[in-house]
C-alpha cells in the first residue's frame, strides 16, 4: 500500500475527565494502521482550541461526568471546525459535546444506552437510537458505549485506507470489526425511584409473577387503581406501557438464565412466561438483537 499524499487528520479531544484509555487506545489503533499504511492517519491530542483545521474532530468518553456547554471553548471550536468541513465524531458521553456544539438537531445519533434519558432531556431534537453501536450520518458519526471507540477507530481506519486496511488492523488487534449492537449488551434496569408507591408495588409484584399470564387489569388491581389511572401513572413512573415493561422484564430474566444455567432455551421461554416458543424467540431477538442460542454462546458464565 502506498503512502497517502492526503493523510486523515484526526483531533482527539481531551475534554475534562476524558477516558484516557480511549484516548491512548485510539492513538495505538491508528499507530497500528500506520504500520500497514504509513502516513495514512495523523492523530493529535487537543486539550484546547487550536487554529489548525482537522478532517475529523472526535470527542471521547468522559469518566468525570463532563457534558460540555454551548459556550464552552471546545464546543464553540467544534462548531467552527464543522462549518469548515470537519467531520464531527463522538464516543459514549462525547455525544453531549456534539449536542452542545449545536449540530445534532434532526440527526440520528447514539450514545451509551445508560445515558438515554439524560440525553433525550438535554437534546430532544436529536433522533437518538441507543440500540446502535455506531451511526454514520456522513458528517456526524457517533458511537455508543465506553468501549465503542474501537468500532469508531476501525470506521475511521476504513475511511482512511479502505476495508483491506480495516481487516489488517482488526486481525492484528484481535477484534471483531463488525456486527455488534448495543442492545446485545443492554440490560433492563427500570426506574424504581419515581416515588409512586402504588406503581412500585406492581413492579415488585411482577418480579415474581412475570411467568404467569398477567394482564393490565391484574396490575391495576395490585396497585388498587382504576384501569385508566393505573395506565397513566405506570407510564409516567416507568416510561413504558405495562405490556412493554412485562416483556422487557421477562427477557431480562431469560438473559440471566441463559448466562447462568444450562436449561434448554425452550424451557427458559416457558419459565419466564412464554407458552409459545416462537413468540419467545421473536421477542428475545427483537429486544436483544440476537437469538437466545447466540446470546448463550456469547455471554454464558463458565
Q: Rounded to whole angstroms, how far apart are CA atoms 169 and 141?
A: 20
SS3 at position 262: coil
Contact 84, 53 (CB under 8 A): yes
Indicate the pairing of strand 108-109 with strand 41-46: unpaired
- The C-alpha cell that represents 138 in the structure block: 456522513
pLDDT of residue 302: 61
SS3 at position 99: helix
pLDDT of residue 1: 37
pLDDT of residue 3: 44
Identify whether 3 is part of a domain.
no
Identify whether 241 is part of a domain.
yes
Domain boundary among 184, 219, 237: 184
> How many independent structural domains does the chain possess?
2
Residue showing cell 436483544: 288
Q: Rounded to whole angstroms, how far apart are CA atoms 27 and 43?
A: 7
Same domain, 150 and 219: no
Q: Rounded to whole angstroms, how far apart are CA atoms 224 and 158?
A: 57
Contacts 24+ apart (CB under 8 A), 67-72: 67/93, 67/96, 67/97, 67/100, 67/122, 68/15, 68/96, 68/97, 68/99, 68/100, 68/101, 69/100, 70/100, 70/101, 70/102, 72/97, 72/100
pLDDT of residue 176: 78
Identify whether 189 is part of a domain.
no
Contact 77, 58 (CB under 8 A): no
Look up the pTM and report it: 0.75
pLDDT of residue 64: 82
Nearest 5°: CA angle at 119, between 118 and 125? Answer: 130
Identify whether 191 is part of a domain.
no
Same domain, 77 and 140: yes
Same domain, 132 and 158: yes
Residue 239, domain extent: 197-299
Contact 41, 34 (CB under 8 A): yes
Same domain, 144 and 14: yes
Q: Rounded to whole angstroms, how far apart are CA atoms 58 and 80?
A: 14
pLDDT of residue 5: 58
Query: Which H or E element spans position 42?
Result: strand 41-46
Identify whether 190 is part of a domain.
no
To 10 degrees, what angle do helices 197-209 and 227-238 make?
90
Identify whether 110 is part of a domain.
yes
Residuewise pLDDT in 10s, the chain (302 residues): 344 458 999 999 999 999 999 999 999 999 999 999 999 999 999 999 999 999 999 999 998 888 999 999 999 999 999 999 999 999 999 999 999 999 999 999 999 999 999 999 999 999 999 988 999 999 899 999 889 999 999 999 999 998 889 989 999 998 877 677 788 777 888 888 888 999 999 999 999 899 999 999 999 999 999 999 999 999 999 999 999 999 999 999 999 999 989 999 999 999 999 999 999 999 999 999 999 999 999 888 76
Same domain, 80 and 101: yes
Instruction: State the CATH number of the domain containing residue 229.
Output: 1.10.10.60
Same domain, 18 and 133: yes
Domain boundary among 184, 215, 236: 184
Indicate the pairing of strand 87-91 with strand 140-143: parallel
Same domain, 120 and 256: no
Amino acid at each position: 500500500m502506498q503512502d497517502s499524499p492526503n493523510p486523515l487528520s484526526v483531533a482527539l479531544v481531551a475534554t475534562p475527565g476524558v477516558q484516557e484509555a480511549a484516548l491512548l487506545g485510539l492513538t495505538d489503533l491508528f499507530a497500528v494502521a500506520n504500520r500497514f499504511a504509513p502516513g495514512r492517519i495523523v492523530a493529535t491530542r487537543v486539550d484546547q482550541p487550536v487554529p489548525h483545521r482537522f478532517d475529523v474532530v472526535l470527542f471521547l468518553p468522559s469518566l468525570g461526568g463532563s457534558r460540555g456547554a454551548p459556550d464552552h471553548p471546545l464546543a464553540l471550536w467544534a462548531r467552527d471546525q464543522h462549518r469548515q468541513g470537519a467531520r464531527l465524531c463522538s464516543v459514549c458521553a462525547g455525544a453531549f459535546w456534539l449536542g452542545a456544539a449545536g449540530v445534532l438537531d434532526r440527526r440520528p445519533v447514539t450514545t451509551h444506552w445508560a445515558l438515554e434519558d439524560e440525553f433525550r432531556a438535554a437534546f430532544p431534537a436529536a433522533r437518538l437510537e441507543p440500540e446502535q453501536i455506531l451511526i454514520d450520518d456522513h458528517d456526524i458519526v457517533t458511537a455508543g458505549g465506553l468501549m465503542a471507540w474501537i468500532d469508531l477507530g476501525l470506521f475511521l481506519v476504513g475511511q482512511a485506507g479502505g476495508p483491506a486496511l480495516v481487516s489488517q488492523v482488526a486481525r492484528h488487534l484481535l477484534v471483531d470489526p463488525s456486527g455488534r449492537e448495543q442492545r446485545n449488551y443492554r440490560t433492563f434496569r427500570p426506574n424504581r425511584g419515581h416515588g409512586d408507591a402504588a406503581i412500585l408495588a406492581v413492579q415488585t409484584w411482577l418480579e415474581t409473577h412475570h411467568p404467569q399470564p398477567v394482564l393490565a387489569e391484574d396490575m391495576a388491581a395490585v396497585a388498587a387503581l382504576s384501569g385508566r389511572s393505573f395506565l397513566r401513572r405506570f407510564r409516567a413512573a416507568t416510561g413504558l406501557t405495562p405490556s412493554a415493561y412485562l416483556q422487557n422484564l421477562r427477557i431480562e430474566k431469560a438473559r440471566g438464565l441463559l448466562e447462568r444455567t444450562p436449561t434448554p432455551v425452550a424451557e427458559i421461554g416457558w419459565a419466564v412466561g412464554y407458552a409459545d416458543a416462537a413468540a419467545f424467540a421473536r421477542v428475545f431477538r427483537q429486544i436483544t438483537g440476537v437469538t437466545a442460542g447466540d446470546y448463550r454462546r456469547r455471554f454464558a458464565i463458565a
